[in-house]
Amino acid sequence: MDRGAATADEKALVKRLIEEIHRLLGKRERPVRFMEVCGTHTVSIFRAGLRQLLPEAVELVSGPGCPVCVTPASYIDYALAYAEEPDTILTTFGDMMKVPGSASSLAAAHAVGADIRVVYSPLDSLAVATENPEKRVIFLAVGFETTAPAEAATVIAAKQQGLENFFLLSAQKLVPPAIKMLLDDPETQVDGFLLPGHVAVVTGTSAFEFLPRDYGRPGVVAGFEPLELLRAIYRLAQMTAAGEARIINEYNRAVRSDGNPAARKTMDTVYETIDTEWRGLGKIPASGLAMRTEWSSFDIAAVNPRTVSVTAKPTACRCGEVLRGRVSPPDCPLFGRACQPEHAVGPCMVSVEGVCAAWHKYGGSRFRYGQ
């Protein structure tokens, strides 16, 4: 654990939980595979050293919980096409800047003069639009259920303010359909899920009831502190050892069974679900969000459609397999060599929440799956 200020009671609880996990699962012949879906969970697990504390029979597998990692190269290509227009300002979260498209990135375009600005909230883009009435301001709306309500609220605010030069380029995605896709893939073996706390704040735990009902898999909604994550892993170990499959909420200080209905209502006002492409995972049914027809005046793809045809350069990057839990990042021949955070080849190495970036930073080469 990395919390130097942990109390004696917390240290004692950590010891008991570790001992119980070893007792419950430590002697199993086949390793048990628990997937942390959230990229922040991956980082927190490594930072706290939780993998070193678990028995060898427990594998923590990283999943597709980083929105930057699963944004397809074609989306970056479209963003770059808009960035080339002289009357356009792109606004984006900072971790999108280095994501590789088919042939370039936003950072590279910015270096040669494109007006691309990093913001900390989609609402910041409204100020940019107000200050630059002669320019189109396009916010790159990438994220999961966590950020989609704020992006929808920004569009509603833009309409209320009468802004006609603000737009979204949307690529929001929904987590539950991606989990279903993984479980439908016979090559992806996962015995239980650490479910994303921030997503569940919006969706509620009810959005994940399909796990025990349809797939017989347990899931635990987890917080982000080391002790919260360890407790969630213990709950998974308990259910696995007992042959049970339920959804347990271990983040009940923030998550309710029905989530945040107001946030979902805002999201549903602006968006509708569509089939959409996930980088490395392919097209997943009903896993994306598109702006409804009545809001199309804020959809840059509807107002000013562009055609992009760039052939991606083949690489040995195995990011897609990493996101499916089939291989660990060190299994990729580029990991830590040609692909590093400073010059990433694949999207899994770009974001601070990217699976490969976390494994690289915290010495994850020692934790290859199946070893």
The pLDDT tens digits for 39-97 are: 999 999 999 999 999 999 999 999 998 998 899 989 999 999 999 999 999 999 998 99
Give residue 347's pLDDT.
86
Q: Hey, which CATH number is domain 27-316, 1.10.1060.10, 3.40.50.11740, 3.20.20.70, 3.40.50.2300?
A: 3.40.50.11740
Give residue 100's pLDDT.
87
Is 130 buried (19+), middle (13-18) or exposed (0-12) by CB count in 10 A? Answer: middle
Give residue 252's pLDDT.
95
The mean of the pLDDT values for the chain is 92
Closest listed residue to residue 329, CA positions, set 290, 301, 356, 362: 356
Strand, coil or helix: 101 = coil
Domain chopping of the chain, boundaries? 27-316, 319-367
Give residue 346's pLDDT.
85
Alpha-carbon distances of 343 from 105, 266, 335, rounded to whole Å: 12, 38, 11
User: Looking at the predicted structure, is the pLDDT value of residue 283 above 60?
Assistant: yes
Task: Please report the DSSP string for 18-62 in residue order.
Answer: HHHHHHHHTT-SSPEEEEE--HHHHHHHHHHTHHHHS-TTEEEEE
User: Looking at the predicted structure, is the pLDDT value of residue 141 above 60?
Assistant: yes
User: Looking at the predicted structure, is the pLDDT value of residue 3 above 70?
Assistant: no
Give residue 311's pLDDT.
63
Give residue 5's pLDDT.
58
Structure tokens at 354: 């990217």
Give residue 28's pLDDT.
85
Query: What's the CA gap between 197 and 225, in Å, rounded?
Result: 11
Q: Which has more pLDDT, 354 or 158?
A: 158
pTM: 0.91
Q: Could you read off the pLDDT of 10-31 as tens digits, one per residue?
A: 889 999 999 999 999 988 888 9
Torsion angle (degrees, nearest 10) of CA 144, 172, 70, 166:
-120
Alpha-carbon distances of 60 from 33, 77, 124, 163, rounded to whole Å: 6, 34, 37, 47
Give residue 87's pLDDT.
95
* DSSP 3-state percent helix, strand, coil across the chain (nearest 5): 45, 20, 35
Closest listed residue to residue 232, CA positions, set 208, 196, 206: 196
Other CB atoms within a 10 A radius of the CB of residue 252 amount to: 12
Is-contact 332 49, C-beta < 8 A? no
Give residue 41's pLDDT.
94
User: Looking at the predicted structure, is the pLDDT value of residue 247 above 90?
Assistant: yes
What is the distance in angstroms between the CA of the first residue and the CA of the last residue of the chain? 23
Q: How big is the CA angle at 19 (ends 14 and 25), to the nearest 5 degrees?
A: 125
Give residue 350's pLDDT.
87
